[in-house]
Chains A and B, each alone.
Chain A
Amino acid sequence: MTGAPLTLGPLAVAPISLTHYLLLAVLLFCVGLYGAISRKNAIGILMALELVFNAVNITLVAAGRFRPAPDAVGQLFALFVIAAAAAESVLGLAIILAIYRRRVVVNADEMDLMKH
């Protein structure tokens, strides 16, 4: 097995590498995951999802930058993710607004019309 030993000490003194960015992205992803699970407000859930998208984008850009021959494809993928996230955000907020107008709820666990 080619795995490195599981110590974070060398990472703290090493120059900033791809591993640093990936670890940061993992932490950001999991903060967003925590928010998406624990939030009750639907807008809060959408904002936590934006954090998740940004973690993925950091991964893509850092991976493209730290390749042996760096190129722009990682940034290109991040650009597409940003566009998809913008579309998701617009539609999600529009649906929240429409539900609020009809039923005056913004909490995700009260949007239970399709449960019954």
Chain B
Amino acid sequence: MQAVLFYAISAALLLSAGMVVTSRNIFHAALWLAVALFAVAALYVMLGAYFLAAIQVLIYIGAVVVLAIFVINLTRSVAGAPVTLSRRWVIPAALVSALTACLIAVALLRSGVPPGAAAGTASGTAAVTEPGTAAVTAPGAAGPDWTPALGRHLLGDFVIPFELVSVLLLAALIAAIAIVGKDREDEK
């Protein structure tokens, strides 16, 4: 059950990611990006990271994709022609990314990653016969919900990175306003 879910989500993720990078219409690419990010959120749910899945949907799909669509609309060519994408260096790009994939995958498979906590999946396959108790999303041994631990980390031993991130976001906000809003002041 879990394996079927994983392969289905993976296929959807890779398919939509492929559409993001190959679609000739930039607007369609942005919509496929939303699908890919949603598939990543589904993977987070499979991994038991519920809070992160919610954050993924809120920030990535709700903010980043919408922002990208806004900018696509704002930069659309004045002549009215749809913004089509011409691609450059398709063959070198495919070569580089395929070789990188081979390199990392071979290194990963040869390094003998510890198989990890695969204990929960055995019960997952057995749970097909007994519905309702299948621990599909939370096979973790130490509790399914990580959100309280996440909060304790954020306000405990990781409080300084947490504050630095908030300063970073504030700086990015101010900088974005300063960059984009500058032209209007010049015109006046």
Contact = CB atoms under 8 A, between A and B. Distances in A.
Contacts of A18: 113-116
Interface residues on B, range: 35 or more
A28 B26 contact: no
Contacts of A66: 116-117
- Chain B interface SS verdict (over half): helix
Given A15-B2, A18-B113, A43 B75 contact: yes
A105 B183 CA distance: 16
Contact of B75 (A17, A90, A106): A106
A26 B108 CA distance: 9
A91 to B, nearest CB: 5
B29 A44 contact: yes
5 contacts: A1-B110, A37-B97, A76-B150, A83-B165, A98-B183
Contacts of A72: 146, 149-150, 153
Contacts of B101: 26-27, 29-30
Interface string B164-188: 0100110111011001101100000
- Chain A interface SS verdict (over half): helix
B113 A22 contact: yes
Interface in A29-51: 29-35, 37-41, 43-44, 46-48, 50-51
The 3 closest A-B pairs by CB, nearest first: A35-B21, A66-B116, A15-B121
Contacts of A46: 68
Contacts of A96: 71, 75
B121 A50 contact: no
